[in-house]
Amino acid sequence: MSIAAGSYTLGPESGRLLVHTTRTGIGAKAGHDLTIEVTRWRGEATVAPSRSSVTVEIDAESLEVRKGTGGVKPLTSSDRQEIEKIVREKILHTARHPTITFRSTRVDGTAESFRVEGELSIVGVTRPVAVRGSVTEGRAHGSAVIAQSRWGIRPYSALFGTLKLSDEVEVRFDVSLGANQ
């Protein structure tokens, strides 16, 4: 399968951008592994024989907890709201850093297996990151693993440090490439 050359507009209307967290520490069984959806974002993928590129801009305040697995008790809507507040105020500091951006520096591979290298800016810090993915039936899907500490983010902890969010989070995407312009 090949991808038609052109520009593709990306965003919530074309697919999903999800963040998956896991927990660690002695108190891990009390917490939840989370699936968090980015609800406001936009991007563009340009496919060209000589130079393909990808850019994505995320509204850092638009992260919403969609699912929590594990834990001693089920995740309540109050829990979700509290987690979202902690993410905005204590992890991403969205009042000072309202956007997260990714800009590719290199795109390699084929539709069956591609790699996008780029610069990811979170909380005012920019670091390189690699994204792996593939295209199947007009949909691009893949992921990148982000170690929060590389951006100066201290993973969230609770219960006097016995429950911690793992440093590495996985960002997954599944988007339609049907909006060729």
How do residues 70-129 score in pLDDT, each as one tens digit? Answer: 877 888 899 899 989 999 999 999 999 999 999 999 999 887 899 999 999 999 999 999
pLDDT tens digit string along 122-148? 999 999 999 999 998 889 999 999 999
DSSP code of residue 154: P
Provide the whole-model pTM. 0.89
> Quick check: 171 and 18 in contact, CB under 8 A?
yes
Q: Which CATH class is domain 6-176?
A: mainly beta
User: How buried is 133 (Cβ within 10 angstroms: 0-12 exposed, 13-18 middle, 19+ buried)?
Assistant: buried
User: Domain-by-domain residue ranges, the chain?
Assistant: 6-176
CB atoms within 10 A of CB 97: 14
Would you state the pLDDT for residue 72? 73
- In percent, how much of the chain has pLDDT > 90? 62
Predicted pLDDT at 181? 46
Q: Is 52 helix (H, G, I), strand (E, B) or coil?
A: coil
